[in-house]
A and B are shown apart, each in its own frame.
Chain A
Amino acid sequence: MIEAKDVYFKYPTGVEALRVVTLTISNGDFVAVMGQNGAGKTTLVKHFNGLLRPTKGDVLVDNVNTRDVSIAKLARSVGFVFQNPDHQLFCETVEEEVAFALRNFGFEKDVISRRVTWALNLLGLTQYRQTSPFMLSGGERKRVALASVLAWDPKIVILDEPTIGQDHQQKEKLRQFIIQLREQKKTVVIVTHDVEFVAECNPRVILMSEGKIVADGNADKILTDENLVTKASIVPPQISQIFMQLTDFGLPTNVIDVYEARKILLDFLEVHS
């Protein structure tokens, strides 16, 4: 569980990135943090594994204040996958790369090799085990980065912009993957601009603007609220844009799911034909 209490954060440069943020993310939650550039999304999630510590206020992860423990200790239960895999890949082989964190956490040798096999298999990277991560494509590198974090089986997984530079197939895989993580009762937090991806996943959405949380609720509520989305300068998913323009026909406006939309439209046609 992650609790942020009145978190205020100011960068040394004087930028106020977070202004009194309070929220609770329960175990097993699936949360998408959204908002425009510079809204404080990444700053907020960096508080969850102790990379940043609040200037004022407290962040508690499983009832432990992040001020009291090291990042390495927190990272054990909070896995953070960065946006750009090139910021973390440095080993000679993919295998080494995935084992790096496990070594840092002091796992036994046989446990490491078992975990590495498991993580590579999970992300379909087994055939690249002995390949240099620098030889892989962008999408594959991203998966290596993901594998290198999932290998230690953190309870909470934070993904910063996981869909950037991924084709549709990879996004779909990622979505399946998140569903899988949720079945394992893991807490998943994603930071993203990708409205369509969020619409497909329908998680809890935390909408941020200028360092504050402006809305917190289910995706179908938040992403279809015109005032909110303009405030956070994001666009509603295309499906809900259509439905917003069809209100004259008495159709609901809070639709973000394609299958649900299809059903509503078919029912509507049936009644009116």
Chain B
Amino acid sequence: MSVFDGLKFRRVSSPIHRLDPRAKFFYVCILFVIAVMFYQLLPLVILFLIQIPFVLVAGVQREWIRSMKGASFLASLIFVFNFGFNYFYTEYPRFPPSASLIEYSLAMTFRFIVLIESFSMFFLTTSPDLLGLALEQSHVPYEFCFAFTTAVRFVPVLAEEALTIMDAQKSRGLELEKGNFLKRIRNYIPILIPLIVSAIRRSLELAEAMESRAWGASKKRTNLYVLKLRRYDVLLITIAVSMLVFAVYVWLFIKIPLLTTLIQL
């Protein structure tokens, strides 16, 4: 569950929190694109590092570290799989495993970490309300915006409920970590069914509560807050675009050296 902690928004104020969610989302998307463009370790490590100042400015390092810890298991899996697969099935020189192979596997791991990192950064510093507002002002139909923000808002609620259900079933002698792989998956049925049933029940209740407060009564909605791109937002977008341009340039024209050879120099 700790991965989700890294997505939980906490209401604080920082320059990063005050940025327009659209600008931030654009920036995160660019990071995504760049991360997928490269398979070498050097640029991915750089991508990883340039986000750290953002985290520090936003003051969310604790949550961020927690989400990184949560991702570490998957990250190590990715490393092991990449390493194992390439070791046995590709032409990388074997015995001993070459530095380039390790570096490639590390790069794939870092790519994953960068994706998680930027996602986590975005959600840690953007309130669900602002996010919904941003969607709305991007002319997404209000029903979708509402559904989206509601879904985001209920993630922690559901996570907590899942924990309670686990406790209840464990108290009835359910052992989640018992048995072989298939049995273990089946062990989760007593947790999933109450969770789904209660989610459905909750959604029906929510729908009733909304109806009773005249949801959708007027077609034309107005908002108390209106998002406007400010100087810093424009700056962030400019940074993002220039990062992309630079990345494309590097991708097209520059051969990226291995980190190991760089270190040897």
State the A residues within 8 Å of B (CB).
46, 49, 51, 70-72, 75-76, 79-80, 82, 84, 86-90, 100-101, 104-105, 134, 148-149, 152
Contact = CB atoms under 8 A, between A and B. Distances in A.
Interface stretch (B43-51, B136-144, B188-196, B219-227): B188-196
B190 A71 contact: no
Contact of B173 (A51, A72, A86): A72
Contacts of A71: 170-171, 175
B186 interface: no
Interface residues of B, number: 19
Contacts of B164: 82, 84, 87
A100 B190 CA distance: 10
Contacts of B161: 87
Contact of B172 (A46, A75, A84): A75
Nearest to B174: A104
A90 B190 contact: yes
Nearest to A82: B168
Given A75-B170, A87-B164, A149-B172, 4 more contacts: A51-B170, A76-B173, A88-B172, A90-B194
Contacts of A101: 172-173
Contacts of B170: 51, 71-72, 75
Contacts of B172: 75, 88, 100-101, 104, 148-149
A105 B201 CA distance: 31
A164 to B, nearest CB: 15
B157 to A, nearest CB: 13
A79 B198 CA distance: 23
Interface string B210-222: 0000000000000
A88 B173 contact: no
Nearest to B162: A87
8 contacts: A71-B170, A71-B175, A75-B173, A82-B167, A86-B194, A86-B197, A87-B161, A90-B189
B167 A72 contact: no
B167 A46 contact: yes
A149 B168 CA distance: 10
A51 B167 contact: yes
Contacts of B198: 86-87
A88 B175 contact: no
A87 B165 contact: yes
Contacts of B82: none
A80 B171 contact: yes
B169 interface: yes
A82 B165 CA distance: 9
A40 to B, nearest CB: 16
Contacts of B168: 80, 82, 87-88
B169 to A, nearest CB: 6
Nearest to B171: A80
Closest 3 CB pairs of A and B: A104-B173, A90-B193, A101-B172
Contacts of A75: 170-173
Contact of A134 (B165, B169, B189, B197): B197
B165 A88 contact: yes
A68 B106 CA distance: 39
A155 to B, nearest CB: 15
A101 B171 CA distance: 9
Contacts of A152: 173
A46 B171 CA distance: 10
A172 B158 CA distance: 34
A75 B198 CA distance: 25
Contacts of B201: 86
A46 B198 CA distance: 22
Contacts of B189: 90
A104 B189 CA distance: 14
A226 B248 CA distance: 74
Nearest to B177: A70
A63 to B, nearest CB: 21
A49 B168 CA distance: 11
A77 to B, nearest CB: 11
Contacts of A148: 172
Nearest to B193: A90
Nearest to A92: B193
Contact of A72 (B165, B174, B194): B174
A200 B190 CA distance: 36
